Structure 1
Amino acid sequence: MRNETRGTLELTLAMVLSGTLGVFVVESGASPFTVVFFRCVFGAAALGAYSLARGFFTGHGFTPRKLGLAALGGAFIVLNWVFLFEAYEATSISFATVVYHTQPFFLVLLGAVVLRERISAAKLGWLAVAFAGLVLVSGVRPGDTASLKGLGLALAAAVLYALSTVVTKRITGVRPHLVALVQVTVGIPLLLPFADLGEAARLGTGWAWLAGLGLIHTGLMYVLMYAAYAKLPTARIAVLAFTYPAVAMLADWLVYGHHIGPVQALGVPLIVLASLRVTRATRTRAAAAAPRTAARAPEAASPAATRSA
């Protein structure tokens, strides 16, 4: 029980940190590509140092195929960050975060298309509930180009998240910290041509916010999450994951005065409830299958396999 309590505290803290990510992005004052580039730089340094200190590079478990899958998943996850941060600029942290949490449904749809997984009637019903919630949350009116752009960017980020998860699920026998390290390292050369280094040189105090995104929101946050996952049942993980959007909305209101309207607010519990039901069902099925793979090394869990940004 003490182990589970510690895991609960670790995951709650990780989700609270994730909920403050949008504030760090906005306060950095940098463009989304530049923000993600330096998040990858600082994040790679943090995860690399932690993995080296823990001896994770010894017997790492990577093969050329697994390394290629991690790199592909990394390309999807860093582009997911770019689209999400663009959505923050186009609308607000609250709006983008709620829309972004349609991720589990794109994962279900991709599983059906790519992995030929069967979609149950219950999941189809929850997909319909989530879609109804999305329509309410969007609150898009004719001519409201900012909201339409933000909606599209957040949905694109959710799709990229789901693609990364589908790819990363195929990596086994590698510590999740190392998979995450590969993914953020891939982001450095991938985003370098698009990062505005001249802009970065003029950021001043913005550098502290960029460093925080890498060291806190990519290093510390993922270490906490992976430690918690080993201690908690899947149902509790699914529930605690929703600390992230709740904190993000609270932070957006406290710092910037942004909040969603009354009609939009009606859609939030629909998306949260539907996402929770689908996520718990998926993780319960995965847990049931775990005994068949218990003899293998720990299965990978990357940033794409978590319920955070």
Structure 2
Amino acid sequence: MTGPMTDYRRGLWMATGAFVIWGLMPLYWHLLKAVPSLQIIAHRIVWSAVLVLGWLLLKQGTRWLRAVREQPRLAGLLALSGLFIAFNWGLYIWAVNAGHVVETSLGYFINPLLNVVLGVVLLRERLRAAQWLAVAIATAGVLWLTFNYGSFPWIALTLATSFAMYGFIRKLTTIDSLPGLGIESGYLLLPALALLLWGESTGQGHVLDAWWPWTDLLLVLGGALTALPLIGFAYAVRRVPLSTVGLLQYLAPTLQLVCGVAVLGEPFGRDRVIGFVLIWIALAVYAVDGLLRSRRPAVAAG
């Protein structure tokens, strides 16, 4: 038996599961620290593409390609979004295995606020006073980290920017999440396969290496752990209010931060704490403003 409440609960569990997986991924990629980052990203693309394209072909045949055939502009947009998400994945994996998990978590804390800025700059959206305040506080946090921690948080800002641009381009597309991911995967598949073959031919590959089969198994499962949260997220956003999903998304960078500090032993001194607290305050202002506005119609209707 299914109904709106059942769909809501399933969507809530799917969204929570997706963000928990994303939050714990640094520990997974850390297990593959001996594999070059480019090889990991190539495996991630190939195996996630196999899973997503296989699922789409099994369930829909080739019907999911109809949107691209009917809208040539869509093909170009998805090629561009595929490049942004591949770059984001590659930088993230490199950063995790180079000991920058805390900074990657900062990037995904900043991302929602950067989405707001992109809306103003590229879509000419107008910000409410609370949103301007959130952006200003977050900017202060980034500046604090830059000048007091001693280095510009380029990893965090590049991750946030690349993922925000991915989301912006996908916002311009008129295609469901899963077929869109399938088309993006199709664009990335051949370059990723070429990179894997080049790695094997030059002795830099890790297929059937000294740690086989564990390394190979982890690389293959990495593709599944890339695709499954995206599928779960796509399922959830159709059944759960975006305001709820927006709050749940902070599970991922919070868990990443915990992994970096408590498990992987990265430093988190006073200057970093102050910078992060400023950004958390900004997120709280942004989230509370969104919740209050989402409830106003319901209150008025009651």
CA contact (8 A) 1:18 1:244 kept: yes
Q: Which residue in 2 is equivalent to 1:289?
A: none
Matched, 1:176 2:177: yes
Query: In terms of mean alpha carbon deviation, does 61-70 or 73-82 score higher?
Result: 61-70
Q: Which residue in 2 is equivalent to 1:214?
A: 223
Q: Which residue in 2 is equivalent to 1:67?
A: 75
RMSD, aligned α-carbons: 3.0
Instruction: Supply the distance in 2 between the matched residues of 1:46 and 1:137 (Cα, whole angstroms).
Output: 40
1:285 is displaced (CA, Å) by: 9.1
1:36 is displaced (CA, Å) by: 1.4
SS in 1 for 2:31: helix
1:43 counterpart letter in structure 2: S
Matched, 1:251 2:265: no
Query: In terms of mean alpha carbon deviation, does 194-203 or 11-20 score higher?
Result: 194-203
1:132 is displaced (CA, Å) by: 2.5
SS in 1 for 2:124: coil
Q: Which residue in 2 is equivalent to 1:23?
A: 27
CA contact (8 A) 1:239 1:276 kept: no
Q: Alignment length, in residue pairs?
A: 280
1:267 is displaced (CA, Å) by: 3.3
Alignment of structure 1 residues 47-62 onto 2, 5 Å: 47-55=52-60, 57-58=62-63, 60-62=66-68
1:27 is displaced (CA, Å) by: 1.5
1:25 counterpart letter in structure 2: W
1:47 is displaced (CA, Å) by: 0.9
Instruction: Supply the distance in 1 between the matched residues of 2:289 and 2:81 (Cα, whole angstroms).
Output: 23
Distance 1:116 1:43, change over 3 A: same
Larger radius of gyration: 2
Q: TM-score, normalised by structure 1?
A: 0.78
Instruction: Supply the distance in 2 between the matched residues of 1:54 and 1:13 (Cα, whole angstroms).
Output: 23
Q: Which residue in 2 is equivalent to 1:40?
A: 45
CA contact (8 A) 1:95 1:260 kept: no
Q: Which residue in 2 is equivalent to 1:188?
A: 189
Cα shift readout 1:120-147 (whole Å, capped 9, x = no counterpart): 44322111111223345568544xxxx5
Distance 1:128 1:185, change over 3 A: same
Matched, 1:234 2:238: no
CA contact (8 A) 1:32 1:85 kept: yes
Instruction: Supply the distance in 2 between the matched residues of 1:109 and 1:275 (Cα, whole angstroms).
Output: 14
Matched, 1:84 2:92: yes
Cα shift readout 1:89-125 (whole Å, capped 9, x = no counterpart): 4442123212343122332333333323334443221
Q: TM-score, normalised by structure 2?
A: 0.80
Identity %: 23
Structure 1, unpaired ranges of 5+: 287-309
Instruction: Supply the distance in 2 between the matched residues of 1:212 and 1:283 (Cα, whole angstroms).
Output: 37
CA contact (8 A) 1:84 1:154 kept: no
Structure 2, unpaired ranges of 5+: 295-302
Structure holding more helix per residue? 2
Distance 1:55 1:12, change over 3 A: same
